Amino acid sequence: MKIALAQLNYQIGNFELNTKKIIESLEKGKAQGADLVVFAELALCGYPPRDFLEFEEFIELCEQSAQEIAAHTQDVACIIGLPVKNPQLAGKDLFNAAYFIEKGEVKAVIKKALLPNYDIFDEYRYFEPATSFECIEFMGHKIAVTICEDLWNINDNPLYISNPMDELIKQQPSLMINIAASPFSYLHDDERVEILSGNAKQYQLPLLYVNQVGAQTEIIFDGGSLAFDQEGNLLDEMAYFQEDLKVYEFDGKGLVGLQKTEHQALPDVAQIHDALILGIQDYFSKSGFSKAVLGLSGGIDSAIVCALACRALGPENVMAVLMPSKYSTDHSIDDAMDLVNNIGCMHEVIPIKDAADAFDKMMAPAFKDMPFNVAEENIQARCRGIIVMAMSNKFGYIVLNTSNKSECAVGYGTLYGDMCGAIGVIGDVYKTQIFQLARYINKDREIIPENTIVKPPSAELRPDQKDSDSLPDYDQLDKILQLYIEQKQSSRHIIAQGFDEALVRKVIKMVNNAEFKRYQTPPILRVSPKAFGMGRRMPLTGKYLS
């Protein structure tokens, strides 16, 4: 029996596109000799569909697409994920399910049992968990089919009280297949291989695992579908960050023609780079846009975003707007122009001095003789926000936000100014990682000017301003932020690791006090295990730890 894993990039709610891709992959798999083609979790509608699932027509369109696909299964069977209605009145209205379709008919419905409700996941909002389990039978083989989280309950701290494979193994299957929508983080690929290998070893069965690829707003799926033998050895991994289809042969006992291999993990910075490229590309293509605009300051953050956007969209589709203020240094303007020349993107130079002066004059009667402070600094940042939004409105560009995670965390940014935008490109990348990313982008030739990388970071909103005037050293700041945000450690635990008590309490208070800002920022491309946005939900007016 030959089984093809189809690793595709779906679009949420685009039934025509998704159905076309699936049918094309069925034909491609059949041409390569496949008897069965396996698709990802909720492939028909895309993952995560969120509150689209509350529309009855949305579920009906999933079923119509499934029937259209079924017509193409006379010579090749398929397993495909979709939401299905719960016939019981009690419980949630839907199941997260998969159809096994053979010879034009739905022969079995597989339902997901373990519904994640942590981080970015919110499945129990919509789905009823499965309570009964049956293997599918195909070409004389019993196959245990599970859906994503159903195989993730074998760690030392189980999240669930049941395990679907414990029931399925009683039916003596000879193969496991898991269909997934497993989001990317730069730590997740190693964990994924470990968990899936553990399943294969525990149940002494070969395992085929298919993941989807592509970005759905802030969530990025990296693909990397996998094959394991019955001892848990990795036999093969498919492409990362791109569509792929591979055919595997199963002889009733194991996957033939494959040798034990090692997981080829890319460095974190390389994974972050590739994920952000895919995130930008899919945000634009799936939203129907092609051109981007951003403010280019001469600093490293905007340089990184500009370079990534040019790689994702092409330099001819990126507009960099230089908006010097009266506090901008000549070298910042020069650095920004060097980047533009290195990349070849479009650019405009629009100074903000006249606009900022006009606001200062307009506000003088209200401000009276009060000294210059953050109000005047933020007026400059908001002048820049007005300019990039005007360029967006006039020319149809989509504004890219250039704030990094360290700044987002402590609120070092101006609402409706440098924090504006449609998508946050590097809002899940700490400043220390930003420097690594710049070096990675420059690995073949200088794209980001060296001076941009080595000069002290500055917002340049007042004379001789440096980030270090307002923030701790980034090496110290980012370590504290990672312990608090990613590892969810309290101030007491962080202080116990040797960090200065006053600094820790100051940083945590800054993070908590900035929650209202993050609530109003654009969605942020998720590359870490704990990103700001839908995966981190904090009260705006809470007092704990503040």
Is 168 known as a binding-site position?
no
Residues 220 and 283: their CA atoms lie apart, in Å, by 10
Q: Annotated binding residue at 484?
A: no
297 annotated to a ligand binding site = yes
Q: Residue 225, annotated ligand binder? A: no
Spell out the residues 6+ positions from residue 465 whose beta carbon is closer than 8 angstroms to its own: 327, 458, 459
Catalytic residue among 148, 306, 345, 383: 148
The reply to whether 148 belongs to the active site is: yes
517 is in an annotated binding site: yes
Catalytic, 41? Answer yes
Read off φ and ψ for residue 33, nearest 5 degrees: 90, 10
**Has 288 been labeled as part of a binding site?**
no
- How crowded is the C-beta side of 79, counted as CA atoms within 13 Å? 35
Pairing of strands 234-237, 292-295: unpaired
Token pair of 2, please?
């030959």
CB atoms near residue 66 (< 10 Å)? 19
| DSSP classification of residue 483 | I
174 is in an annotated binding site: no
Which residues, at least 6 apart from 201, have a Cβ–Cβ distance to it below 8 Å?
Answer: 230, 231, 232
Write a three-state SS string for 183-241. ECCCCHHHHHHHHHHHHHHHHCCCEEEECCEEEECCEEEEECCEEECCCCCEEEECCEC
Active-site residue, 420 included? no
- Annotated ligand binding at 302? The verdict is yes
Q: Give the Cα separation of 21 and 23 in Å (integer).
A: 6
Does 299 carry a binding-site annotation? yes
- The answer on whether 325 is annotated among ligand-binding residues is no
Tokens linked to 358: 């006009």
Q: Is 300 assigned to a binding site?
A: yes
Q: Which amino acid is at 445?
A: R
State residue 457 phi and psi, 5-degree precision. Answer: -60, 140
Classify residue 484 by its DSSP letter: I
Say whether 504 sits in a helix, a strand or coil: helix
Active-site option among 41, 102, 377, 460: 41
Residue 495 marked ligand-binding: no
Catalytic residue among 21, 30, 111, 112: 112
CA neighbours within 13 Å on the CB side: how many for 120? 25
Residues of each annotated binding site = 118, 182, 295-302, 378, 402, 407, 517
Residues of each annotated binding site for ATP = 295-302, 402
Report the catalytic residues.
41, 112, 148
Residues of each annotated binding site for L-glutamine = 118, 182
